[in-house]
Amino acid sequence: MEQYSREDIAEIKSRIGQIQEMLSVRSEERPVSAEGDPQTMLVEQVSFSLQTRRIRQDHFGRAQLSGANWDMMLDLMLAREQDRQLSASDLATGAGVPLSSGLRMIAALEQEGLVHRAIDEKDRRRSLIRLSDAGADRMKRYFETIRRAWNDRQRRTI
């Protein structure tokens, strides 16, 4: 049996996501006729949720941003926009994971070039985590893509 590298697996996942996206767009081309119908609204919400997950997989690739890792990225983006600082323990607590798991997740995000870690000058026992410029740019582009997908979906349902 042939061994595949992480990059090969990430590429295969990305291609599967692209195929799933194409199939979901085809199924979404039907206009929604009953805007107030709760079942139709639920189907649309679930469908859009799946679409955003696929967009995130395609956009961030092998970074595997889901669950607690994604929560950390969202917290860091919000902190950046609000000019706040977050410590490693803040991120772990916000993501609902133990500090030891949070530190591993932060290290993975740091290895992907999405975040930077620095020692807090006021309390040298703490690490302060912030999005890197590249990480912030990727988050902004991701949300722009989501906004366009939402607007496209809204235009199709009118």
* Start-end of H helices in the chain: 6-28, 38-60, 67-81, 88-95, 99-111, 133-157
CATH classification code of 67-137:
1.10.10.10
What are 2's two structure tokens? Answer: 């042939």
Rounded to two decimals, what is the model's pTM?
A: 0.69
For residue 135, what are its two tokens? 């990480």
Report which of 96, 109, 98 is spatially closest to residue 63, judged by C-alpha positions: 109
Backbone angles phi, psi at 86, to 5 degrees: -125, 140
| Residue 131 pLDDT level (bands cut at 50, 70, 90) | very high
> CA 6 to CA 62: how far, in whole Å?
8
Strand partners, 128: 87, 118
pLDDT tens digits along 64-74: 678 889 999 99
The answer to whether 106 and 129 have CB atoms below 8 angstroms apart is yes
